[in-house]
Amino acid sequence: MEHKEVYIVLSDTGSLLTRVIKMVTGAPYNHVSISFDASLHTLYSFGRKQPHNPFWGGFVKESFYEGTFKRFKNTRCLVLKLDVELETYAQLKANVGVFVENMDDYHYNFVGLVGAAFNRRIARENGYYCSEFVAEVMEQANLVFWETPAYLVHPYDFTKVEAFEVVYEGLLAEFSKA
């Protein structure tokens, strides 16, 4: 059976907001994205729509070379790889594709993020935060790694899944050189 690879990227920009999140969670990474190409040219997540405004968020296409990651040059990252069957890969891409096609309809669920810190769900229509989004699109493709619902999955929880292989850890700017 044919397989494809999916990439999960955990990151820490070192911004004020991420330092606050880090103080609450104690985890070294506080953002997660999903990508379908080994070069990680395009990543998908919920985060800042503008690099200088942490409070205007929503569904975003991210790149290591522009936007928020370009602004925060000392961003650290952990790149994980998951080998999946072709059918699962296609379903994951389709799930993310729904967000891409309707990206203006989605917003960042800041209130839900606070709720998740206290293991409580605070749902908002079309609102997500990064780990909820990645966990949910994976669950919709029958990739269920946690006993908790997607809205309680935290970025660092992805590091605890044995199915993921560590590809790289270090400065994001050095990834392409690794």
Residue 118 has a pLDDT of: 82
Query: Tokens representing 77?
Result: 């990252």
Mean pLDDT score, 4-17: 92
The yes-or-no verdict on residue 131 having pLDDT over 90 is: yes
Rounded to two decimals, the pTM is 0.93
Kindly report, residue by residue over 60-101, the tens digit of the pLDDT: 999 988 888 888 889 999 999 999 999 999 999 999 999 999
Residue 177 has a pLDDT of: 64
Domains of the chain: 3-177 (3.90.1720.10)
Residue 20's H or E segment, with its range, is: helix 16-25
Mean pLDDT score, 15-29: 85
> What burial class does residue 115 get, using C-beta atoms within 10 Å of its C-beta: 0-12 exposed, 13-18 middle, 19+ buried?
middle
Backbone φ, ψ for residue 93 (5° rounding)? -60, -40
Residue 178 has a pLDDT of: 59
Residue 126 has a pLDDT of: 95
> Could you tell me which of 145, 88, 92, 154 has the C-alpha nearest to residue 118?
154
Residue 30 has a pLDDT of: 92
Strands (E), the chain: 3-12, 31-35, 43-50, 53-62, 76-85, 107-108, 127-128, 165-171
Mean pLDDT score, 41-46: 96
Per the CB < 8 A criterion, the answer to whether 44 and 61 are in contact is yes
